[in-house]
Amino acid sequence: MKGSWAASNITTRCVFFAEKVIQSPTSYLEGLNGETYTTKYNTDGTTPGFKYIFTIEGENKGESVFEVQHYYDAEWDWLTSKGNSLNVFSTVRSYTNEQGETVGLGGWGFNCPTKDLLNEFEQGDPRLPITIGKQGDSIWAFINTKTVKVPMNFSLSPTGMSCRKYEVHPFYYWSKAKPHPDDGPTNNKMMRLADVYLMAAEAYLESGNSAMALDYVNQVRTRARNSGSTGVPENLTAITFQDIVHERRVELALEYGRFPDLVRWRLAEAELNGTARSSGEAINFVAEKHEFFPIHNDNILSSNGNIKQNNGY
């Protein structure tokens, strides 16, 4: 991570959210190190290179722009740990044992992908099995002092699927004496290189340079393709805004950036309204209100009225 470059890209993301046109995409592409888009297969030979980005071995490597570092102390307890809660937060809740019974695995099963997200992936995209767990998939588990692969069980998932990006091998976490929920062993990846490339593509397209926009999108797609053996996704021959919307969704899926993207693109109302929550209740997104959270009344009062409540609250 290059500190000033990382800070520049965080600033760029804020500018994007504020909907200010960026005329010089090259300003935040400076400082790339020589390790970009490293791929690696894990020890059992079945996980494509895309997974490497989300492993302990892949931390602070060429695809890293800004990561909050994990720090482990055996004396720390829950809520005092300085680990990553996403490892527990998003891992599937249960597995099916040899007797066909549902058994708790340890994950909490939040951040479940939807069928709409599943359908967004091109058939054969090697990023899909690293991003979404679905019926028929298996997971490493620590059972009776042994590490084994077991069938994932989605009976407690509201969408019948799970997020796989933050799964960790039991050796690094579940087999520890005190695997606290806040002590997941991975760094928290706040910004990845692919995010920067896709922001650059968007900025280039906005400024009329479609050739450079196409190049940066294809760099992301090439890395994805080289992470597997399906030949998918192929490079694009032309670029549109919708291509960038698609690529950001599949590349950065379940990394908590989709909603801000929809808001800044003014697509949140169209994309979210009427879609179902995990409870089955339809989302009612109110434009010009739900783009922001309400400001706490105490903050407004303590500012002597200088802070104004966000629209609609």
Instruction: Read off the pLDDT of residues 117-146 as tens digits, 9 standing for 90 and up.
Output: 999 999 999 999 999 999 999 999 988 888
Give the span between the Cα atoms of 86 and 188, in whole angstroms: 8
In the chain, the amino acid numbered 196 is V
C-beta separation of 252 from 221 below 8 A: no
Q: What is the pLDDT of residue 91?
A: 95
Query: How confident is the model at residue 65, as a pLDDT?
Result: 86
- In the chain, how long is the greatest CA-to-CA distance? 65
Least confident of 81-95, 122-136, 175-189, 245-259: 175-189
CA–CA dist 211, 138 (Å, integer): 41
Q: ω before 170 within 30° of 0 (cis)?
A: no
Q: What is the pTM of this model?
A: 0.89
CA distance 4 to 304: 37
| Secondary structure class of 282 (helix, strand, coil) | strand
For residue 121, what pLDDT is reported? 99
Q: Is the pLDDT of residue 182 over 50?
A: yes
pLDDT tens-digit map of 258-283: 999 999 999 999 999 988 876 778 99
Cα 99 from chain centroid? Answer: 34
Residues paired with residue 248 on neighbouring β-strands, in sequence order: none
The overall average pLDDT reported for the chain is 85
Q: Average pLDDT, stretch 215-237?
A: 93
Give the pLDDT of residue 25. 64
User: Which SS3 state, helix, strand or coil, does residue 202 take?
Assistant: helix
DSSP 3-state percent helix, strand, coil across the chain (nearest 5): 35, 15, 55
> Which of the two residues, 62 and 86, has the higher pLDDT score?
86
